[in-house]
Amino acid sequence: MDKFFVYEMQTLLRAFIAVSAILIGLGVKDGGSEGETPAQFLERYERETLPRWNMVAEAAWQQKTNITDENTAAFGKASLELAKFSQKNEKQALVFLKNNSLQLTFDQRRQLTKIADIGTSAQTNKTKLKRLQTVISEMEQIYSKAEVCMNPSGDCLKLEPGLAELMRSSRDCQNLSDAWRGWRDQSGKKMKDLYQEYVQLSNEAVQILGHNDLGDYWKSLYDTSTFEEDVAVLFDQLLPLYQHLHSYVRRKLKEQYGPEIFPSTGHIPAHLLGNMWSQQWNNIADLVNPFKNKQLMDVTEEMKRQGYTTKKMFQTAEDFFYSLGLDNMTQIFWEKSMLERPEGREVVCHPSAWDMKKQDDFRIKMCTTINHEDLMTVHHEMGHIHYFMQYENQSFTYRSGANPAFHEAVGDTIALSVQTPSHLKSIGLLKVGDEQDKEKMAFMPFGYLIDQWRWSVFRGDTPPEQYNNEWWHLRCRLQGISPAVKRGADDFDPAATNHVVANFAYIQYFVSFVLQFQFYKAACVAAGYTGPLYKCDFYNNKAAGEKFKSMLQLGSSLPWPEAMERMTGQRHMDAGPLVEYFEPLLDFLRKENGDDYGWEEKCPENPPPCNARTIKLDTSLWTVSFRASGRLGLRIFD
């Protein structure tokens, strides 16, 4: 993604699996005493944990906003300190949970269970724990520092903004192919051995807690033994819409580039979709827009004409939330957030929202660009901040989303409302233009397949020599996307994606893809909206805001179905609102495609090269004019 992301640290508590990668020794003496009651234990744990995590968050913030050898070394020391604290409390929590003579309340049992499940910090071998943290840090550094040199003069581009802008704006097939391959050579290909080690060390750590492997641990966070089957059912329900979208886009791209560079298998070459990972296609809207006489949903030029600054973008988002009856950002937010790329130091630009575990201290880290896409990202990230703010008064163990997907779904629910033409008109950014469908479906299979690949790797079903082959098997079969150039076993393309490198589960994005439409419809109903769902804007509606508050304030203090019920009246994931939202789009695509849709499961053996039919624009690296792209749809953000 990514800007996901993503979310290299959407919240420091998404799962304790992140602990080993972000900690710093705090010099606080470990508490604990024999004879504690569960209530006394939980009170002490709360008292000692919050200041520790504030210092952990500060250290992580410094490392992500100033990548230095010193900060990386601090991570190595850090994980051992907090892991020791976590392990001691985990053991005590397990003692209470296994003592059948104790009359634990629901709340005590829930908190103790969360404390006991500490992810990779369960590793008691200090050498292995330190090595795991080092491996993750080394992979992140390779990713963050990677750059691709595109021309003989030696001009080199990092992912953000250079390569990302090239993928967004260029219509030169060869340029796109070179950037696509170059990024993978300079990032993922250099990490394969490290990733093998990461898999082994991570599995060993969570097996101490009784999990089969790291994927099993991630799935356990959803509190259902059928989670893998549940998401597979959702994917099958949504696949027909994606297949029709894919086939429509493929036909339009063939008109642009010529059919010769498209494989006969029906796949779309990965470098032609306006994004380094092909998981969102909004940047090729100008090529696939079926209504040439209608304005594309992109307000970039209007933002620039009105003199939008980074701060104004964040203030615009702040106003949306305030209109729902939620609080403004804190003074600390404005003082300490990193909202633009700083000069003179390496940073992780991937947008992320941070709960610093200290009163009023919430931050966003983002290298913001003045454009439509980043305006949506800003609203999304601020959605995370409001979740943090609403559950700030919960116990430490409950200061997280109801399940790992809830945080992402909340941000995207807001973005669904913000990107409607009616809302953009109401804030003065869109003066003309008809209502039109806006699709997010391009992301759906990508959000599903990344962890399908990782679950297989963690289980041992996919050995290292098959890492890349299985990755492309899934992408070709599930996404209908084929590699730009021939890939081999020595390549390691999964690690060209931020979330694989940064050790974050990805299935939450797929789940949030479903949940956000349930939340969106609930907010629209609360606001009294009765029109087509895709046109709903609940801006300035306090009733919709109260629905959000009722769910957000719970954090993870109750099982996620109960939190969902507060917002939607339902206790299960339901694709119905999503299908309702996209029904006009599906009707249109069916008429356009007829029976011409779908692709073969197997990847093409030899991807066709770029050829003379390719339209040559003035998009060489040293002369490229990065123009604003239209929006076929709304991305999934971190």
Which residues are part of a known binding site for chloride? Answer: 222
Which residues, other chains included, contact 219 with Cβ-Cβ below 8 Å and sequence gap of 6+? Answer: 227, 228, 455, 507
Tell me which DSSP letter residue 69 carries. H
Residue 157, phi then psi, degrees to nearest 5: -120, 135
Which residues, other chains included, contact 27 with Cβ-Cβ below 8 Å and sequence gap of 6+? Answer: none
SS3 assignment for 81-102: HHHHHHHHHHHHHHHHHHCCCC
Nearest residue to 364 via CA among 344, 394, 335: 335
How many C-beta neighbours within 10 Å does residue 108 have?
Answer: 18
The answer to whether 130 and 162 are in contact (CB under 8 A) is no
Structure tokens at 425: 């008109």
Length of the chain: 638
Structure tokens at 447: 């959000």
User: Residue 169 to residues 163, 261, 471, 619: CA-CA distances in angstroms?
Assistant: 10, 19, 27, 8
392 is catalytic: no
Question: Is the backbone peptide bond immediately before 561 cis, with ω within 30 degrees of 0?
Answer: no
Describe the chain by its helix, strand, coil percentages, rounded to 5. Answer: 55, 5, 40
Q: Is 619 exposed, middle or buried (0-12, 13-18, 19+ CB in 10 A)?
A: middle
Half-sphere exposure of 490 (CA within 13 A, CB side): 2
Distance (Å, whole) CA 112 – CA 234: 32
Which one-letter amino acid corresponds to residue 432? V
180-212 b/e (C-beta count within 10 Å ≥ 16 → b): bbbbbebbbbbbbebbbbbbebbbbbbbbbebe
Catalytic pick among 8, 81, 90, 381: 381
Q: Is 229 exposed, middle or buried (0-12, 13-18, 19+ CB in 10 A)?
A: exposed
Tell me which DSSP letter residue 485 carries. S
The answer to whether 522 and 304 are in contact (CB under 8 A) is no
Which residues, other chains included, contact 161 with Cβ-Cβ below 8 Å and sequence gap of 6+? Answer: 367, 369
Q: Is 577 exposed, middle or buried (0-12, 13-18, 19+ CB in 10 A)?
A: buried
Which residues, other chains included, contact 118 with Cβ-Cβ below 8 Å and sequence gap of 6+? Answer: 16, 19, 83, 86, 87, 90, 209
156-158 and 147-149: which strand pairing? antiparallel
499 is catalytic: yes
Which one-letter amino acid corresponds to residue 453? W
Tell me which DSSP letter residue 608 carries. P
SS3 assignment for 392-412: CCCCHHHCCCCCCCHHHHHHH
Structure tokens at 305: 């004409």
Distance (Å, whole) CA 468 – CA 453: 10
Which one-letter amino acid corresponds to residue 96? F
Strand partners, 269: 482
Known catalytic residues are: 381, 499
